[in-house]
Amino acid sequence: MQAVFEYIEQQFTQRKGEVTRLFHGRGQCFSGFEDVVIDRLPPLIIIRLFSEIPEQQLDQLVAFFAEHPVYKPETLVIQYRYLREDSIKVCWQAPETELQRLAVTEGNLQFWMQPLRNQNSGLFLDMREGRRWVQQQSKGLRVLNLFAYTCGFSVAALAGGAAKVVNLDMSSPALNTGRENHRLNGHDMSKVKFFAHDLFRSWGKLKREGPYDLVVIDPPSFQKGSFVATKDYLKVLRRLPDLTCENARVLSCLNSPELDSQFLLDLMAEYCPEFRFVERLANPEDFPDADPERALKVLLFEKNSLNK
């Protein structure tokens, strides 16, 4: 337990005032805490439990925050992810703290989040380095953001000076939050488009908006009735040549523990041989994982006709 406390202490000093993961037990680096994650969404901290843990263990975690002389949060919440959506316990709460919806800061960007939702709270924290890369690389580019969700990559791209961003996602509510995220950051809305469509029925529309200098592919690892990586990822990749310009880059993401980096490398080699692998982006340091191939994979590819 002491090792866990020491790790959290260390994480407290990183990215002060920003949304961050204080503890990532899902990475299998702390025995006995594999189903515990702790997120800091200033001014609140959320302990998320993916399975039941011993009562004494949970009491010690709560006491650690309650008694901390420096880092006691204004609000502490326990979320029981293995139970129903509304299985939330508020340990204590500052009167002014909004639990249903709040704006969080990541670097110099802001995003709306719904911290009490069991899933899809508005921002996937493990993709922070991907968003940072896009922000740094997007100046003057035409960007296609597939499976856009709440448009985190789009916000990063416009913040980095992108000329145009096209967002596509089946969820209209998610894209509406994306619009609000852009407005929250003061962006020029004439440079961004939102398509609430089924990707596999929208190739013509996307092609007319292109070609693109950068394509971000960040699908759900498995979403029944929507996307199954093992059979649907290739359907996306085989369309890339027609959607992209010469020297375009593709950020290909995969967050399935069962599928490793080689899965993406093999698919790209077979269906898009003109794209060469450049590098795998590092995951955020607050998401340590005993097996990197079970963690988030973010691979960068670059198009070159000489690679055919």
Alpha helices in the chain (DSSP H): 2-12, 55-66, 128-137, 152-159, 172-184, 203-209, 229-237, 240-243, 261-271
* pLDDT of 257: 92
* pLDDT of 307: 52
Alpha helices in 238-306 (DSSP H): 240-243, 261-271
* pLDDT of 72: 96
Q: What is the CB neighbour count within 10 angstroms for residue 53?
A: 17
Residue 141: burial class (beta carbons within 10 Å; 0-12, 13-18, 19+): buried
Tokens in use for 7?
């790790």
Q: By three-state DSSP, how is residue 101 classified?
A: coil
Q: CA 42 → CA 45, 63, 116, 120, 287, distances in Å? A: 7, 19, 14, 18, 18
Alpha helices in 85-151 (DSSP H): 128-137
Q: What is the CB neighbour count within 10 angstroms for residue 62?
A: 15
Q: What is the CB neighbour count within 10 angstroms for residue 187?
A: 19
Query: Between the CA atoms of 187, 190, 191 and 197, what dihedral angle is there, to the nearest 10 degrees?
Result: 110
In whole angstroms, give the CA distance from residue 165 to residue 175: 13
Would you say the C-alpha torsion 236, 237, 240, 241 has a positive or negative sign? negative
- Tens-digit pLDDT profile for the chain (308 aa)? 999 999 999 999 999 999 999 999 999 999 999 999 999 999 999 999 999 999 999 999 999 999 999 999 999 999 999 987 669 999 999 988 888 899 999 999 999 999 888 677 899 999 999 999 999 999 999 999 999 999 999 999 999 999 999 999 999 999 999 999 999 999 999 999 999 999 999 999 999 999 999 999 999 875 566 788 999 999 999 999 999 999 999 999 999 999 999 999 999 999 999 999 999 999 999 999 999 999 999 999 999 855 55
Residues 6+ apart with CB under 8 A from 84: none
* pLDDT of 119: 73
How many residues can be counted in the chain? Answer: 308
Report whether 46 contacts 88 (CB < 8 A). Answer: no
* pLDDT of 86: 64
Instruction: Give the DSSP letter string of 45-89.
Output: EEEEESS---HHHHHHHHHHHHT-TTT--SEEEEEETTS-TT-EE
Residues 6+ apart with CB under 8 A from 7: 23, 30
Q: What is the CB neighbour count within 10 angstroms for residue 251?
A: 21
Which one, of 1, 2, 50, 42, lies nearest residue 20 by Cα? 42
In whole angstroms, give the CA distance from residue 189 to residue 191: 5
Residues 6+ apart with CB under 8 A from 158: 138, 165, 182, 185, 187, 188, 191, 192
